[in-house]
Amino acid sequence: MLKKIHILFYLFISSFAFSQSIQSNIDSTQIKIGSQFNLTIKAKVTKKDKVTFPESPFFGQLEVLESYPIDSIKNNNELELIKKYGLTQFDSGRYVIPPLQVIINKKTIRTDSFAIVVNNIVVDTLKQQMYDIKEIISVEKPADYFWIYVLLGIIGILLLGLLLYFLIKKYQVKKNKKEDIVYASPIEKALSHLKILEEKELWQKGDTKTYYSELTDIARNYLEESVNIPAMESTSNELYEILRVTVRDKRIKLSQDALDKFKRVMSNADLVKFAKSKPLDFEIENDKKMINSFLMSIDKAIPRTEEETVGLFTEELKRKSERAQKSKRILIPLSVVFFLLVIGGVFVGVSKGTDYVRENWLGHNAKSLLNEEWVTSEYGDPAIVISTPKVLERISDERIQNNLPEHVRANAKFMYGSILDNFSIVLNTTAFKDTTVVDLDLALEDGLRQLELLGAKNISHKEEDYEDAKGLTGKKVYGTFIVGNPTEGEEQKMNYEFIVFAQAGGAQELFVVYKEEDEYAREIMERVMHSVELKNTSGK
């Protein structure tokens, strides 16, 4: 019996080892730098087993470029899972893939380890032809026609505003002519509106509030136009008091009973509008008759001369109406134009970016330049290393480059801005073929003459010696000048600093100009000057 148990135990162990086994291999033991090789892990399991393959961005010092999907092969109740990885290394040397953990049903099984040799790429400089570094070729900036579309858009919006203006004016003129024919006097206008109000049948349809609002507005409009009192903007009680005083002062023969009836109608209207009162049908009819009777009574009682009767109302009302209409036909188109321009500006800002808008149309102010991320670059030969708000633009002049003096090997000029901007930088380097040394005083005089040629006037200057942190010496001239701004039609006072460094075989010049009253521009200048680092002709 014990022997049978031993036999069954060994059979179980053998079966388990067969049904759960791990194999691993690589398709290459040597690769070139950056080349890919593949690691394959195979797991033989049953369909009920749960298998977890290793996942990591690195296997040892080898980078996993790609972890491929698991492939499977079925054989009756057995299952072979195949996991493939693409690996590489970007440095030459010998590397080892360590044993990796594969988990089967919470049991860890380790793979074999493999050694990989990564070979360097050999470059034969004798057989492969080498070339000198090519000179910088200036390329014309492609034309940007976007501003034309923007200009056409602005013109289109302005024309639309102008068209809207004339359409409103035409409508107003047509309306004025119509009203001139229909309403010859305030009472005719009021009675006509009362008739139109009745035709609407508002209170019969249950809209009593709107009916009383329009009824009282007709009365208020009549009083404002005929008696010249602020009826539309007064409360019912205020209107009654103003009307009572006006009747007395202008000697309008209107009975107190008529005034009281008018006040009662206005009170009823307030109850309907604000207290949600619901008068009976006959009460509404009586209120309408009282308003009609009141308007007729006051119109008859107003003392007028024949001339006033004919022209006073018409002229005053026309002037008042024309002022209101003029404001309307100007404000409406202006509002539409402004709204469309804002929408257009937002569209341009979103589609082209705020940097494009600022650089091409608005320009940079000194404060924005100071707060932006600065750029540190090396310019010219012998080089100047300098930090600036924007990368300096190389200025190419073929006439100068083609006519360099015999002792000059190379000349380069870089700049940002112009003499009229809040802030500008000009950088110039010259390399000589021999050990020529520049006369610093002559260089400074030439720089001041260049300022004069650019339109600078009343140039003041002070000179002093200059030495950078590395011991390269030079001369500095600084001061102020006046320059005219043709766009603003006034003169602007500017500050400048001009530094010339001279050494055997080369010279470096730095020119900084900024507006005197601009504190941000002054801060930029100081920051630029503190960042200057010079390279001598030996390249150190």
* Residue 246 CB coordination number (10 Å): 15
In-domain check, residue 262:
yes
* Residue 193 CB coordination number (10 Å): 18
In-domain check, residue 230:
yes
Q: What is the Cα–Cα distance from 288 to 278, expressed in whole angstroms?
A: 15
Q: Would you state the pLDDT for residue 37?
A: 94
Q: Give 323's contacts (C-beta < 8 A, 6+ positions apart).
A: none
370 shares its domain with 299: no
Burial class for 218, CB neighbours closer than 10 Å (0-12, 13-18, 19+): buried
374 shares its domain with 259: no
Q: Please name the residue ranges forming H helices in 183-280.
A: 186-200, 208-226, 236-249, 256-274
Residues 374 and 360: beta-carbon distance below 8 Å: no
Burial 253-276 (b: 16+ CB within 10 A, else e): ebeeebbebbbebbebbbebeeee
Q: What is the Cα–Cα distance from 322 to 178, expressed in whole angstroms?
A: 15
Q: Give 172's contacts (C-beta < 8 A, 6+ positions apart).
A: 325, 328, 329
Tokens encoding 443? 């260089």
Q: At what angle do helices 186-200 and 281-301 cross, to 10 degrees?
A: 170
β-bridge pairing 37-46 and 51-52: unpaired
Answer left, alpha or beta for residue 20, where phi above 0 means left and psi between -120 and 50 means alpha: beta
One-letter identity of residue 279 = P
Which of 303, 335, 355 is the endpoint of a domain? 303
Q: What is the Cα–Cα distance from 409 to 429, expressed in whole angstroms?
A: 11
Q: Would you state the pLDDT for residue 14?
A: 36
CA dihedral 386, 387, 391, 396 (to 10 degrees): -20
Q: What is the Cα–Cα distance from 435 to 505, expressed in whole angstroms?
A: 4
In-domain check, residue 341:
no
Q: What is the Cα–Cα distance from 94 to 32, expressed in whole angstroms?
A: 12
Tokens encoding 347? 């569209």
Strand partners, 74: 79
82 shares its domain with 215: no
Q: Would you state the pLDDT for residue 4?
A: 42
Residue 481, classed as helix, strand or coil, is strand
One-letter identity of residue 148 = I
In-domain check, residue 319:
no
Which of 303, 326, 350 is the endpoint of a domain? 303
288 shares its domain with 379: no
Q: What is the CATH number of the domain that holds 73?
A: 2.60.40.10
424 shares its domain with 526: yes
Query: What pLDDT, in 10s, does the model give residues 97-127?
Result: 999 999 998 888 999 999 999 988 766 555 5
Q: What is the CATH number of the domain that holds 411?
A: 3.40.1000
Q: Would you state the pLDDT for residue 9?
A: 37
In-domain check, residue 445:
yes
Element (H, E) at 510: strand 506-515
Residue 458, classed as helix, strand or coil, is strand
Q: What is the Cα–Cα distance from 504 to 515, expressed in whole angstroms?
A: 35
Burial 158-192 (b: 16+ CB within 10 A, else e): eeebeebbeebbeebeeeeeeeeeebebbbebbbe
Q: Would you state the pLDDT for residue 378?
A: 84
In-domain check, residue 23:
yes
Element (H, E) at 102: strand 101-104
Q: State which residues of the chain have pLDDT below 50.
A: 1-19, 181
Query: Is the bond leading into 230 cis (omega within 30 degrees of zero)?
Result: no
Flag whether the pTM goes above 0.75.
no
The number of folded domains in the chain is: 3
Q: Give 93's contacts (C-beta < 8 A, 6+ positions apart).
A: 117, 118
Residues 168 and 333: beta-carbon distance below 8 Å: yes
Q: Would you state the pLDDT for residue 126?
A: 59
Which of 96, 119, 142 is the endpoint of a domain? 119
Residues 66 and 38: beta-carbon distance below 8 Å: no
Q: Would you state the pLDDT for residue 11?
A: 38
Domain containing 439 equals: 366-534
In the 8-state DSSP scheme, what is residue 361?
Answer: I
Q: Give 27's contacts (C-beta < 8 A, 6+ positions apart).
A: 37, 38, 40
401 shares its domain with 516: yes
Q: What is the Cα–Cα distance from 463 to 498, expressed in whole angstroms?
A: 10
Q: Would you state the pLDDT for residue 325?
A: 79
Q: What is the Cα–Cα distance from 471 to 420, expressed in whole angstroms?
A: 34
Q: Which of 450, 477, 448, 451 is nearest to 462 (CA)?
A: 477
110 shares its domain with 198: no
294 shares its domain with 415: no
In-domain check, residue 74:
yes
398 shares its domain with 512: yes
Q: Give 417's contacts (C-beta < 8 A, 6+ positions apart).
A: 423, 424, 425, 513
Q: Give the chain's end-to-end CA distance (angstroms, integer).
A: 92
379 shares its domain with 511: yes
Residue 350, classed as helix, strand or coil, is helix
In-domain check, residue 18:
yes
